Amino acid sequence: MQALAQTAMPKAPDEAAYDRSLHLREQWMYLTKGLAGPATWIDAERYRYRRTAEGGFEFVVRRVGVSQAQPAFDQQKLASALGNTLGIAIDGRRLPFAEFEYESGERAIRAWTDSGRVRCELGDAYRCERIGDDINKSRPRAWGVVRDLSVPADDTPRRSPDGRYEAFVQGDNLMLRILASGETRTLSRDGSPGDFHDPDTLVWSPDSSRVALYRVRPGLQRRVTRVETSPRDQLQPKLQTQLYPKPGDPVDVERPVIFEAASGKRIDVPDALFANPFQLSPLAFRADGRTLAFRFTERGHQRVRLIEVDARSGATRTVVEERSDTFVNDWWQRSEFHDVGNAGRELLWMSERDGWNHLYLVDGKSGRLRQLTRGPWVVRRIVKVDEARRQVWFAANGREPGDPYMQHVYRVDFDGKNLVHMTPGDGWHEISLSPDLAHYVDTWSRLDQPNVTELRDARDGHLLAEVERGDASALFAAGYKAPETFAAPGRDGKTPIWGLVVRPTHYDPSRKYPVIESIYAGPHDSHVQKKFWPFDAQSSNERLVGAQALADLGFIVVQIDGMGTMNRSKAFHDVAWKNLGDAGFPDRIAWHKAMAARDPSYDIGGGVGIYGASAGGQNALGALEFHPEFYTVAVAYAGCYDNRMDKISWNEQWMGWPVDDSYARASGVDNADKLRGHLLLIVGEQDENVDPASTYQVADALIRAGKDFDLLAVPGAGHGVGRGNGETDRYVQRRKFDFFVRHLLKRQTPDWNQ
């Protein structure tokens, strides 16, 4: 029996196998043609996009009605000019950016590169220069809620729409300059460093009669301090600090105040409707200047209101409110709303009040809601509001048969009628509408379907032209296989849980393969890849090709979206509330067992391996603490292991406020004594996203509990430690490979120090 068991196991990977896996991305990255990314319209007739080409990528421009694409610019000339500016060799087929902006009548471009922002002239002589970030000069806010008071605010005067006045802040108070006479008036006199007027929030009414801004009581200036042990430019270590508010910390408290320009009269706004704020959205005057509005998120994320202010009296009222006993999902596009005509009479609003995220039209005066979409599916975001036709374009998932996570695009009238499905292809869709709303470019794919790009008529969605059809034949010939999609009932025995399976390139169904799960259970999204492109970075900070690289060493690697993640029902999502330690594990374990029951090669008998980064790192550690009977080997990168140690915004959204014992129950530190199995912790000492102390506190707790574990601290590395393509990243990846080969495959690894 022992001999049979040994022959059923894959052989130990040698150095050649490691080398292939560590360089798999480079080997496969440039083996496709015509895979286009989403389009960007230049004007009503032309659009541009990037597509794969032999050995790299090319940027092209297309015109509606013309079959041939034209180069967006001369990539070789640009590569030469950019290389001279950045001091590095650049291949014209592999420019160091994926997106750019035309400017100066398309005679120049701006782009972000790994070396910073650049501007390049495209004339006869291509020339490039480094440029600063002039997009936003406002004072930075840590995680959106605490201003960095070590950075001066932008006190550039803001001119009124009629050009008569300039408003600015001086010495924490609001000032007004009358341009015709040069006279300067002081509008407020009671500002102070502890209660200041913020110039970054200043807005004028359209008729220039009033100016409004937020008055701010600053929150806690908590700073995380990191030692950079091995700087490249000097021998001695450096000290780095970062403004970093954590759950429970006082945040900036904002209160709007309005001033009449002519008289200087101050109009105070009572805060009864927005007491205890976590965050207020920027102030916005309505088109008639009589009212202004802002979105209020209450501390604890259980109440969100759209509040209207009378600009003459300061009186406030609630236009629409969301309330939840768990959380109101205030994350990313879920907080979108649209003021129709900027008049306040009608608002497009998203809400989960019926158990699914849907669109509503709100009467701005009465607050009555008309539901525009309904059913057991999810509106993901508003794509475009066509006010002239009284229609809204939106992205959604779960309405079409099959995988409920596939994103499609729809259009519906403001009365909730005439819902039209605009993206008929079976896959994940991203569209770009022309400025005149006459056409749109639809780019779609699936894990097993390379990108297809189509030009469609926006009136009814009919196909005008197939713009691109990606060719991945060389990639498949090199050994790439599309992951298998699989669904099985979760913890309740009925809700389908969806995931994917990556098998070794030379998979032998007669063998048994240990299983490793790549996990990321962050409630802010769903995370299992749906698009074809296997080189995309996912929220788990893993690419499919990264999973393939690990699988090729003798494993089956899977990704799963369990309960507690987004883009299903409200009840599905609510599992995460004050419960991040759950991480959907009961659903994941049920999924694994269902997969093993149908596939004899899927070997979970000796325990399942697991790895993840950031929230996924927290999840990977949690697997060995809360489910050690099932998960036996874990590699955890850059984890937020205790939600009290991590950034304020993400953690209070899901774990709530005030900080209570639910934080301790989910803590990888407080539960360190429960750990069983083999653990490798990996941390970048300069992690700017998660306080690196979170990892060291886990290590301290494990030591005090007498637990064995491995710790790899990487000098100079940040939050993306081990997830790039440099030599340091490959070293970290190799250490992950070694850990699973030794402890899950139970084979000897090469002697790397030989």
Residue 232 has pLDDT above 90, yes or no: yes
Query: What's the pLDDT at 724?
Result: 84
| Pick from 357, 363, 367, 368: nearest CA to 334 | 357
Query: What's the pLDDT at 386?
Result: 98
β partners of residue 127: 121
Q: Could you report the per-residue pLDDT of 145-173, keeping only the tens digit for each? A: 999 999 999 999 999 999 999 999 999 99
Query: What's the pLDDT at 7?
Result: 44
Q: Report the C-alpha gap between 279 and 80 in whole angstroms.
A: 46
Query: What's the pLDDT at 429?
Result: 98
- How much helix, strand and coil, in percent to the nearest 5, is found in the chain? 20, 35, 50
Q: What integer is the mean pLDDT of 203-223?
A: 98
Q: What integer is the mean pLDDT of 53-64?
A: 97
With tokens 């390379």, the residue in question is: 450
- Pairing assessment for the beta strands 608-613 and 513-518 based on DSSP bridges: parallel
Q: Report the C-alpha gap between 521 and 541 in whole angstroms.
A: 12
Give the DSSP H or E segment for 684. strand 678-684
Query: What's the pLDDT at 143?
Result: 97
**Exposure of 96 by Cβ count < 10 A (0-12 exposed, 13-18 middle, 19+ buried)?**
middle
Q: How confident is the model at residue 136 (pLDDT cuts 50, 70, 90)?
A: low
Report domain extents, the chain.
10-28+475-743, 40-134
Q: Which two tokens stand for residue 498?
A: 């969806």
- Pairing assessment for the beta strands 284-285 and 277-280 based on DSSP bridges: unpaired
Cβ(223)–Cβ(243) below 8 Å = yes
Query: What's the pLDDT at 133?
Result: 63
Fold of 10-28+475-743: Rossmann fold (3.40.50)
Residue 8 has pLDDT above 70, yes or no: no
Q: Report the C-alpha gap between 122 and 106 in whole angstroms.
A: 8
Query: What's the pLDDT at 3?
Result: 39
Q: Could you report the per-residue pLDDT of 515-528, keeping only the tens digit for each? A: 999 999 999 999 99
Neighbour count for residue 417 (Cβ, 10 Å): 8
Cβ(245)–Cβ(251) below 8 Å = yes
Q: Report the C-alpha gap between 681 and 88 in whole angstroms.
A: 34
* Mean pLDDT computed over every residue of the chain: 96
Q: What integer is the mean pLDDT of 314-333?
A: 95
Q: Report the C-alpha gap between 393 and 437 in whole angstroms.
A: 11
Q: How confident is the model at residue 9 (pLDDT cuts 50, 70, 90)?
A: low
Query: What's the pLDDT at 2?
Result: 40
Q: Could you report the per-residue pLDDT of 649-683, keeping only the tens digit for each? A: 999 999 999 999 999 999 999 999 999 999 999 99
Cβ(608)–Cβ(517) below 8 Å = yes
Residue 530 has pLDDT above 50, yes or no: yes
Q: How confident is the model at residue 180 (pLDDT cuts 50, 70, 90)?
A: very high
Query: What's the pLDDT at 557?
Result: 98
Q: Which two tokens stand for residue 16?
A: 């050649």
DSSP per-residue codes, 458-521: TTT--EEEEEEE-B-HHHHHTT--PPEEEEEE-TTSSSEEEEEEE--TT--TTS-EEEEEE---
β partners of residue 212: 203, 258
Cβ(130)–Cβ(117) below 8 Å = yes
Cβ(573)–Cβ(532) below 8 Å = no
| Pick from 441, 452, 476: nearest CA to 32 | 476
Cβ(676)–Cβ(707) below 8 Å = no
Q: Report the C-alpha gap between 750 and 252 in whole angstroms.
A: 54
Residue 294 has pLDDT above 60, yes or no: yes
Q: Could you report the per-residue pLDDT of 472-510, keeping only the tens digit for each? A: 999 999 999 999 999 999 999 999 999 999 999 999 999
Q: Could you report the per-residue pLDDT of 342-395, keeping only the tens digit for each? A: 999 999 999 999 999 999 999 999 999 999 999 999 999 999 999 999 999 999
Q: Report the C-alpha gap between 495 and 487 in whole angstroms.
A: 10
Q: How confident is the model at residue 24 (pLDDT cuts 50, 70, 90)?
A: very high
DSSP assignment letter at 83: H
Q: How confident is the model at residue 723 (pLDDT cuts 50, 70, 90)?
A: confident
With tokens 């989403």, the residue in question is: 38
β partners of residue 393: 384, 411
* Amino acid in the structure at residue 8: A
Q: Could you report the per-residue pLDDT of 549-587, keeping only the tens digit for each? A: 999 999 999 999 999 999 999 999 999 999 999 999 999
Residue 365 CB-half CA count within 13 A: 2
* Amino acid in the structure at residue 147: R
Q: Could you report the per-residue pLDDT of 76-134, keeping only the tens digit for each? A: 999 999 999 999 999 999 999 999 999 999 999 999 998 999 999 999 999 999 998 65
Sign of CA dihedral 339, 341, 343, 347: negative
Residue 5 has pLDDT above 70, yes or no: no
